């Protein structure tokens, strides 16, 4: 279930860089040494500035431009509020969409309610069995069991309705866009930055504008979820279309097929498996938006988590979190099975229709009985509460390692985060811009250098320089920890099949459990501030990194390893000289995912006191300050752009 949102890494001619001169260069040509010098310049600049007593010319980026940008956005907001009941733009466009979406979610929810819990369960299990075989059907049954026994049946159905609507919408736009992108390189090149933007821009930052445009509750929630979940299906569909055997396309063309025929008869059928992988990823992302959407009234399971947290009842939040995890895993396995076409029960052609009819009849029968017995949602009285034991475990953990954890939190703050933050916020802004540009140039060539410097200037122009530097220091630490841990665990995972088998469900769980559930325990352990936020970010970003490293190393051809081993390489040499270098593509992707996911936790981190940009994004939503929220969100996007481009190296064609 790796959130492989960026699998497209066509090899291409990258921009050449200064360090790309083979092994013949002198000491100064060494990339890492150059980077070290750049950082040393920054540190020296910081100390000089301090020694001079922080003169005005060596401070933060002036905020003038940013302030007027924010004021302009606030003006737009005020205009919309004043005009949304009269402007034709709303009367004839946005309001239609919101009524349509709102009704769609509500209708699906009514339908699920109408089926009663018995009907939904029979329908779900039967469909899962027919599509994906009995193992997945059992998993689906277990999922419905969790919904029922946690007493969250109705909430789960609300959430399911929202996810169905949002995913449908994302696919409606995403698949055609993906097909276009697969057929036209130019279109794809134009689209990619937009997709990057959609994924890095924190959802909290665009909640407010979407509520303005589409209305609170289901409509805005569905749009926000769809926007967030759209990129992978576009990317992966494009990849699928591209990978279709060129020969097959040429053969069909030579037979005189029209482009439409090629698409529908050749490309789409052949790319079906890949496209379904994209659909699968889209569903996963939609599930992960459930909690955020409940801030604007989406209700359902996310709401249950919020409700529990208002009372600081970690056990109750975990219960709802577990329902979300089960939902995500079940949906992943079902759609995954459609993609592979594996495990489907083998049923002879002539029995398929009767079987389908029988299944439908069974669903209708169960529903009718359910309605006669007035079953509705699963009765809350028949639920099992696991919150008390979970709370007990939570308290015990806290008592056992609380003091040590708090000391560790304080230590991290004083020795790592604090100094790094001081360095970045206390140095002259132009020096930081120059060093960023230099790092981009050193690692990935002059184009990336320009992009890096430009990103930092843009952050300054947005008027959020100090907060952005604060956030950058936190993100750097979290990313380094994530990638270091990810590589170590990933290597271990690739070494042992048993360990891998044990780890996989744990990773599934880490990836789909909403961070809200573990944020509060993290505060209880580590103390409020950036440290618990970093811990949560690491937990969240780690699974895909581990998976990608594991996949990369396992993908190294056995012959290569044997050859190296036969020449007497030690295990360590094998790893560092053969396996890791050969898995470099996967490692790059792992780094990219680590960065994107850590950045996506910046706003969550602010909910437990990480402050900085994340806090301003939340503040923008909560205090009606559209300008502040958007500007801070954009700054996070630029930080992402910088980190991603610098770490992707000069072989990355996207720079």
Partner 1 sequence: MPSFLRKGTLLRLLSVGLALVMVSSCAVRTDQITRDPNSVRIAVNNWVGYEASAEVLAYILREEMEYEVQLVRVDEQPSWQALDQGVMDVILENWGHDDLFELYGPEGNGTAVDGGPNGNEGVIGWYVPAYLAEEYPEITTVEGLKENTDLFQTAQTGDSGEFLAGAPGFVSQDQGMINAFDLDLQMVYAGSEAAQITEVRRRAANEEPVLFYFYDPQWFQEEIDLVKVEFPEYYDGCDADPEFVDCDYPVYDLNKIFRAGFVEHDDHAYRFLDNWTWTNSDQNAVARMIADQDLSPPEAAEIWVNENRDIWEEWLPEGYEDRR
Residues numbered 248 to 287 that lie near partner 1 (CB under 8 A) are none
According to CB under 8 A, which one of 127, 420, 528, 574 is a site residue for partner 1?
Answer: 528
Give yes or no for residue 310 binding partner 1 (CB under 8 A): yes
Give me the helices (H) in 289-380, please.
290-293, 300-310, 314-340, 349-372
Does 75 contact partner 1 by CB under 8 A?
Answer: no
| 4 versus 115: smaller Cβ distance to partner 1 | 115
* Rounded distance between C-alpha atoms, residue 94 and residue 105, angstroms: 17
Pick one of 28, 65, 71, 91: the residue that binds partner 1 (CB under 8 A): 91
Residue span binding partner 1 (CB under 8 A) among the ranges 125-133, 208-216, 260-268, 441-449 = 208-216
Instruction: Please choose, out of 13-21, 188-196, 411-419, 470-478, the segment that lies near partner 1 by the rule CB under 8 A.
Output: 411-419
Which position among 406, 450, 480, 582 is part of the footprint of partner 1 (CB under 8 A)? 406
203 belongs to the binding site for partner 1 (CB under 8 A): no
623 binds partner 1 (CB under 8 A): yes
- Report d(CA 141, CA 120) in Å as an integer: 10
Cα gap 172→286, rounded to integer Å? 14
Q: Which residues contact 416 (CB under 8 A, 6 or more apart)?
A: 477
Name which position in 28, 40, 99, 501 contacts partner 1 (CB under 8 A): 99
Compute the least distance from the CB of residue 411 to partner 1, in Å. 8
- Contacts of residue 266, defined as CB under 8 A and 6 or more positions apart, other chains included, come to 244, 248, 249, 252, 257
- Cβ-based nearer residue to partner 1, 434 or 513: 513
Least Å distance between CB 461 and partner 1?
Answer: 24
20 or 383: CB nearest partner 1: 383
Q: What DSSP designation does 574 have?
A: I
Q: Which of residues 8-37 bind partner 1 (CB under 8 A)?
A: none
Residue 611 touches partner 1, criterion: CB under 8 A: yes
Interaction with partner 1 in 330-389: which residues (CB under 8 A)?
367-368, 370-372, 374, 380
Q: Where are the beta strands (DSSP E) in 75-118?
A: none
Per-residue CA distances from 454 to 59, 192, 434 (Å): 18, 18, 10
Indicate whether 413 belongs to the interface with partner 1 (CB under 8 A): yes
- Counting residues that bind partner 1 (by CB under 8 A) gives 77
**209: Cβ–Cβ under 8 A, 6 or more apart, which residues?**
626, 630
- Candidates 254, 384, 404, 263; CA nearest to 319 is 384
Q: How many helices and strands (H and E) does the chain possess?
A: 30, 0
Q: How many residues would you count in the chain?
A: 655
| Pick 237 or 427: Cβ nearer partner 1 | 427
Contact between 313 and partner 1 by CB under 8 A: the answer reads yes
The nearest distance, CB 628 to partner 1, in angstroms, is 11
Q: Cα–Cα distance between 112 and 585 in angstroms, integer?
A: 44
Q: Which stretch binds partner 1 (CB under 8 A): 58-66, 458-466, 516-524, 578-586?
A: 516-524
Residues 465-504 that bind partner 1 (CB under 8 A): none
* Subset of residues 213 to 242 that bind partner 1, contact rule: CB under 8 A: 215-217
What gap in Å lies between CA 276 and CA 331, rounded to an integer? 12
Task: Pick the binder of partner 1 from 174, 530, 594, 640 (CB under 8 A).
Answer: 530
For residues 242 and 136, what is the distance between their CA atoms, to the nearest angstrom? 31
**Token reading at 346:** 């083998």
The Cβ of residue 192 has, within 10 Å, a number of other Cβ atoms equal to 18
| CA angle at 458 for the pair 613 and 285, rounded to the nearest 5° | 50
| 60 touches 466 (CB < 8 A) | yes
103 near partner 1, judged by CB under 8 A = yes
Answer yes or no whether residue 169 interacts with partner 1 by CB under 8 A: no
Among 258, 414, 560, 576, binds partner 1 (CB under 8 A): 414
Question: Does position 600 bind partner 1 by CB under 8 A?
Answer: no
| Binder of partner 1 out of 140, 191, 295, 330 (CB under 8 A) | 295
End-to-end CA distance of the chain: 27
Compute the least distance from the CB of residue 297 to partner 1, in Å.
4
């Amino acid at each position: 279930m790796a959130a492989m949102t960026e699998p497209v890494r066509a090899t291409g001619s990258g921009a050449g860089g200064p360090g790309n001169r083979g092994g013949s260069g002198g000491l100064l040509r060494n990339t890492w040494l150059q980077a070290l010098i750049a950082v040393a310049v920054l540190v020296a600049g910081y100390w000089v500035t301090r020694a001079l007593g922080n003169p005005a010319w060596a401070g933060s980026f002036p905020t003038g431009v940013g302030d007027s940008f924010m004021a302009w956005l606030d003006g737009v907001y005020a205009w919309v509020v004043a005009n949304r009941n009269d402007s034709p733009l709303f009367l004839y466009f946005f309001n239609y969409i919101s009524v349509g979406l709102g009704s769609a979610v509500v209708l699906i929810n009514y339908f699920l309610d109408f089926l009663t819990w018995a009907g939904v369960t029979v329908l779900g299990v039967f469909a899962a069995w027919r599509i994906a075989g009995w193992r997945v059907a059992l998993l689906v049954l277990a999922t419905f069991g969790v919904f029922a026994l946690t007493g969250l049946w109705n909430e789960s159905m609300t959430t399911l309705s929202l996810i169905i609507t949002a995913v449908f919408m994302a696919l409606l736009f995403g698949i055609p866009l993906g097909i276009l992108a697969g057929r036209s390189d130019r279109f794809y090149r134009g689209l990619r930055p937009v997709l990057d933007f959609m994924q890095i821009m924190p959802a909290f930052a665009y909640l407010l504008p979407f509520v303005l445009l589409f209305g609170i509750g289901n409509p805005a929630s569905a749009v926000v979820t769809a926007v967030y979940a759209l990129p992978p299906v576009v990317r992966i569909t494009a990849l699928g279309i591209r990978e279709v055997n060129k020969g097959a396309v040429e053969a069909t063309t030579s037979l005189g097929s029209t482009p439409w025929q090629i698409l529908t008869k050749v490309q789409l059928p052949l790319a079906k498996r890949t496209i379904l992988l994209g659909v699968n990823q889209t569903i996963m992302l939609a599930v992960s938006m459930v909690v955020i959407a409940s801030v604007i009234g989406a209700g359902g399971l996310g709401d249950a988590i919020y409700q529990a947290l208002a009372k600081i009842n970690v056990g109750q939040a975990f219960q709802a979190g577990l329902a979300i995890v089960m939902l995500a895993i079940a949906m992943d396995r079902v759609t995954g099975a459609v993609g592979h076409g594996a495990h489907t029960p083998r049923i002879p052609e002539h029995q398929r229709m009767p079987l389908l009819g029988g299944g439908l009849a069974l669903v209708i029968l169960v529903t009718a009985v359910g309605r006669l017995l007035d079953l509705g949602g699963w009765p809350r009285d028949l639920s099992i509460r696991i919150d008390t034991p979970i709370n007990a475990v939570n308290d015990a953990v806290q008592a056992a390692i609380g003091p040590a954890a708090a000391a560790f939190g304080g230590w991290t703050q004083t020795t790592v985060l604090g100094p790094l933050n001081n360095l970045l916020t206390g140095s002259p802004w132009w020096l930081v811009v120059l060093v960023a540009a230099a790092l981009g140039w050193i690692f990935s060539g002059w184009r990336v250098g320009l992009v890096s410097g430009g990103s930092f200037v843009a952050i300054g122009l947005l008027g959020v320089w100090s907060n952005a530097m604060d956030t950058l220091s936190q993100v750097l630490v979290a990313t380094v920890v994530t990638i270091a841990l990810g590589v170590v665990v990933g290597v271990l995972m690739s070494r042992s099949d048993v360990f891998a088998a044990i780890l996989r469900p744990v990773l599934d769980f880490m990836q789909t459990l909403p961070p809200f559930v573990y944020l509060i325990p993290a505060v209880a352990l580590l103390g409020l501030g950036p440290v618990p936020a970093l811990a949560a970010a690491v937990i969240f970003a780690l699974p895909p990194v581990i998976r990608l490293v594991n996949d990369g190393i396992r993908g190294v051809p056995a012959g290569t390893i044997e050859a190296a081993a036969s020449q007497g390489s030690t295990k360590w040499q094998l790893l560092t000289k053969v396996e890791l270098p050969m898995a470099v593509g996967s490692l790059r992707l792992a780094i990219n995912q680590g960065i994107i996911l850590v950045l996506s936790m910046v706003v969550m981190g602010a909910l437990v006191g990480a402050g900085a940009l994340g806090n301003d994004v939340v503040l923008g939503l909560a205090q009606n300050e559209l300008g502040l929220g958007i500007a801070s969100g954009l700054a996070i996007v630029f930080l992402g752009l910088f980190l991603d481009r610098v770490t992707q190296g000069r072989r990355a064609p996207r720079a």
